[in-house]
Amino acid sequence: MAYQSENLIAQAREIREASRVSQRALSERAGLTQSHISQIESGKMEPGLSSFIDLTRALDLEVMLVPKKLVPAVLGLVKAQATPDMHIHAGQPNDKRFARAERLVKKMKHLYGSSADLDRIEDTLRFLRRVNLRDQEMQLVRELIARLERYQASAQAAPVVRDIAQNLQRLRNSIAHPAPSEPRPAYSLDDGDADA
């Protein structure tokens, strides 16, 4: 099931990982079991409010209620403080990034001939561009694009390109088919979409 809470949970997970706390260590501090935390983080179960609070408190976080209107302000506040030595130049808006990436792919197709992998990348980029990506997801995309740029002219570009294509597609699938729980109907093929 696609839950409304996945953002919050993903955030908590990121912070846990960033602070190098293992699920086990956290479980002791928060008073939950490791298995429980694993299932929550992997989206296999939806925590109760109090479990979630326990979890976040153990990470030195507070759950707060903020008027929608103020969300950007708070976000700014938190972000400013959170990464004092993180040099993520927030410069380029995502949209431009995608535009550049698509141009790059086009150029590669033109130079080295088109391939199934390049086609896949192009297609997936076009898709991802339209979606609201979480920071974490955007980060992944950024990395993949950077890698593509780095290896574009390399001799062994082929396997790298394939890997990038696979990663992008995986991300895409995780967004397009976010439901891990339903008994998958037989008609749903593993990879592509049912679209036609």
Handedness of CA 139, 144, 147, 148 (dihedral sign): negative
Q: Does 146 bind a second copy (CB under 8 A)?
A: no
Number of CB atoms found within 10 A of residue 39's CB: 14
As to burial, measured by CB atoms within 10 angstroms (0-12 exposed, 13-18 middle, 19+ buried), residue 20 is exposed
Number of CB atoms found within 10 A of residue 70's CB: 10
**Residue 117 binds which one of a second copy, DNA, none, with CB within 5 to 8 A depending on kind?**
none
Per-residue x/- track, 164-183, a second copy (CB under 8 A): -----x--xx-xxxxx-xxx
Tokens, residue 156 = 């062994």
**Residue 38 binds which one of DNA, a second copy, none, with CB within 5 to 8 A depending on kind?**
DNA
Distances from the Cα of 132 to the Cαs of 22, 94, 101, 175, in angstroms?
29, 10, 17, 10
Q: Does 45 bind DNA (CB under 7 A)?
A: yes
Pick the stretch among 15-23, 78-86, 129-137, 153-161 that binds DNA (CB under 7 A).
15-23
User: Any residues with CB less than 8 A from the CB of 75 and at least 6 apart, and which?
Assistant: none
Interface with a second copy in residues 32-91 (CB under 8 A): 46-54, 56-57, 60-71, 73-75, 77-79, 81-83, 86, 88
Cα separation, 15 vs 63, whole angstroms: 14
Q: Does 140 bind a second copy (CB under 8 A)?
A: no
Q: Does 47 bind DNA (CB under 7 A)?
A: yes
Give the residue, chosen from 2, 24, 63, 170, that forms a contact with DNA under the rule CB under 7 A: 24
Interface with a second copy in residues 110-129 (CB under 8 A): 116, 119-120, 122-123, 126-127, 129
- Where on the chain is the footprint of DNA (CB under 7 A)? 17, 22-25, 31-36, 38-42, 44-48, 50-51, 107, 110
